[in-house]
Structures are given as C-alpha cells and as structure tokens.
Amino acid sequence: MTAATHTPRVFSGIKPSGGLTLGNYLGAIKRFVDMQGQDYETIYCVVDLHAITVWQDPAELKNATREVAAGFIASGIDPTKSILFNQASVPQHAELGWIFNCVARVGWMNRMTQFKDKAGKNAEKVSLGLYAYPSLMAADILLYHATHVPVGEDQKQHVELTRDIATKFNNDFKCDDFFPMCEPIIEGPATRVMNLRDGSKKMSKSGESDMERINMTDDADTIAKKFKKAKTDPEPLPESLDGLSERPEARNLVNIYAALSDTTNEAVIAEFGGEGWGKFKPALADLAVDKLAPISTEMKRLMDDPAEIDRILLAGADRAQEIAEPILQQTYDIVGLLRPKR
C-alpha cells in the first residue's frame, strides 16, 4: 500500500490537564470541527495517558477528561460523524506506544523542544513518560493509519517525529508503506495564540496568571476584562499587515479576531487599520463572548450529565477499536510477536 492509497483519515488529540483555553479552541478544536464531514474520516481523542506524564490529581482527572470531551461536543464535534473517545479506553495506544519506544532513538527524543521546555533544568527528575511522550503520540496517530493531523504550531515537531518513526519502522521491517507518512495540518490565522500579557509566550493552560489566557469556561465579564487588560503598545492598529511584524501583542489580537470571525488578518486590518485599542479591544471582546458563550453554556449543560459523556466516550472507544485492533494485530505480526486475535 502506498501513502496515497491509505484512506484519508484525520486524527488529533487534546490533553485533559487543566481547562481548555482559547489557544486549544482556535488552534485545534475549531479546526477539527471544520474538517468533520469533509473528505476524511475524523477521529478525535482526549489523551488522558499523555496527561499523566506530569502529576494529575486522580480526583480531578476523570472530570477533566469529561470536560475536554464536553468542550469537543459543545464546539460542534458530532459523535455520530466523528469518532470521539478517551485514550485510556483503547489499550492498543499503549501497546503500540511500547513498540515505538523500541523503534524511536534516544537522540530523537533529546531533540524535542517541548520536552526541553517542560523539563527545564529538572530533566533528571521528570517522569520517563514525559521523555517518551512523542513516541506515544506517534502511536496515537499511526494506530489508525491517520494521514492528516490538525494541530497548533507547537506540535509540528512531534508530527515530524511521527513520520520518522513510521519511516524507520517501514524500513526496519521491510513493510513498504505499512505506516503512512502523515501530514501535519497547521493552517489559519491562529495556529499559535499568544499569552495576553506577553506576546513572546504561547497561551497555555499552565501559565502563572489567569489573566494571560482566555479559558473556554470564562464568563462574559471575565473575557471582556481580560481583553481590556491585554498588553498592547500605544500605537493604533497599522494600515497594512507589515505594520504588525514588530508588534507581537498587536499581531496576536488581530490573529485572534481573524480566527474567531473566520476571516483573514488582511480583512481585519482593512476594517480596523488606523483605529485605536479603545475601539478594537471592545469589538474583540464582544466577538469572543458571542462565539464562546454558547460553547461554555453547552459545556456546562453536558457536564451536568457525566454518565451521558461516559456513554458517548465508550461508544467512540468501541468504534476506535474496530480500526485500531486489526492494525495493531498486523503490527505485532510484522514485528514477530505472538498475540492472539481478539
């Protein structure tokens, strides 16, 4: 089978560690929704096994998993059109992850910038799971022979590593294109949403201050306050896009506006060029509230019935296993491992 003949299939995932941010929404979930019902089969996963590579309070993890699932559904992922499940419910992920631990090289892991950022000076003390994380991520993708992986910019290196693992496996075991060369899909104006207080840092759920991010569950007043207090410079918005190149905070807010309104940065500049922040920030806050309030209301409604979320995830896990199990079985066979057919 050549890469071109693999069924077009999308896979992506989000960790249930802390709440969802506007970065997760614009860089990932919103784009997952756009890809649903197109020419691909779409598989979306709450990657709870990835979350525990750093400490998670067991009392909170299950709820955090349900909350990410609720975020997916409330944003428009339809569990009848896409396969939606949590990673721990499909044990084949961990099985293939182990095989890839034996394919990937230590030197490859040492080059992962996200590991270096997360481990910082503490690299000796972090979990082995955090180090091997990209290998499990490769397993998530390749377990479904996924061909397209929509992610934010920060995940590009991990998807490239997935391709390296697929290539080495295919070569080592002389199995042609058994694992496809997946493509990272990193598109749109908000593939890297930045921190609202420091335009040089990514918006993340683990940042120190809540004021630096928009959470998917923030209420209207909080969203308005955070945008009002977002760091900017004294200049008005430029008349052309070039004028944003040395202005990271201004560029970030324009990117967010463009992504939320499904338009381009050029169109935003055409509308607001020359205007001051006193006009742009309230317009951005109104737009964000308009788009996010129905999602957070729906998330809360879904979270009132955790049993229903569990039922949806379980049904998704059954469908995921129908694809994953034969691929894993073939992988074991290729490697020469005995594994009874399930």
Which residues does the annotation mark as catalytic? 118, 202, 205
CB of 151 to ligand TYM, least distance (A): 4
CA 142 to chain centre: 16
Q: Is 217 in the site for ligand TYM (CB under 6 A)?
A: no
Q: Is 141 in the site for ligand TYM (CB under 6 A)?
A: yes
The alpha-helical segments, DSSP class H, found in the chain are 22-24, 30-35, 48-51, 58-75, 92-101, 106-110, 113-119, 128-142, 156-172, 220-228, 248-260, 265-272, 277-303, 306-335
Q: Rule CB under 6 A: which of 32-51 touch ligand TYM?
A: 47, 50
Among 149, 161, 285, 317, binds ligand TYM (CB under 6 A): 149
Instruction: Indicate the SS3 state at residue 88.
Output: helix
The interface mask with ligand TYM, positions 110-139, x = CB under 6 A, is ---------------------------x--
Q: Is 84 in the site for ligand TYM (CB under 6 A)?
A: no
CB of 63 to ligand TYM, least distance (A): 16
CA-CA distance, 171 to 156, in Å (whole number)? Answer: 23
Say which DSSP state 122 is in.
G
CB of 100 to ligand TYM, least distance (A): 12
CA-CA distance, 60 to 83, in Å (whole number)? Answer: 24
Q: Give how far Cα 97 sits from Cα of 49, 141, 248, 330, Å.
A: 11, 10, 38, 15
Q: Give how far Cα 64 sits from Cα of 57, 91, 278, Å.
A: 10, 20, 36
CA-CA distance, 14 to 189, in Å (whole number)? Answer: 20
CB of 315 to ligand TYM, least distance (A): 21
Among 46, 99, 203, 295, binds ligand TYM (CB under 6 A): 203
CB of 152 to ligand TYM, least distance (A): 2
Q: Is 11 in the site for ligand TYM (CB under 6 A)?
A: yes
Among 34, 95, 154, 164, binds ligand TYM (CB under 6 A): 154
CB of 134 to ligand TYM, least distance (A): 8
Q: Is 66 in the site for ligand TYM (CB under 6 A)?
A: no
CA-CA distance, 245 to 214, in Å (whole number)? Answer: 23
Tokens of 292: 């996010």
Q: Is 191 in the site for ligand TYM (CB under 6 A)?
A: yes
Q: Is 93 in the site for ligand TYM (CB under 6 A)?
A: no
Q: Is 92 in the site for ligand TYM (CB under 6 A)?
A: no
Half-sphere exposure for 273 (CA within 13 Å, toward CB): 13
Q: Is 75 in the site for ligand TYM (CB under 6 A)?
A: no
Q: Which residues bind ligand TYM (CB under 6 A)?
A: 11-15, 23-24, 27-28, 47, 50, 137, 140-141, 149, 151-152, 154-155, 158, 191-193, 202-204
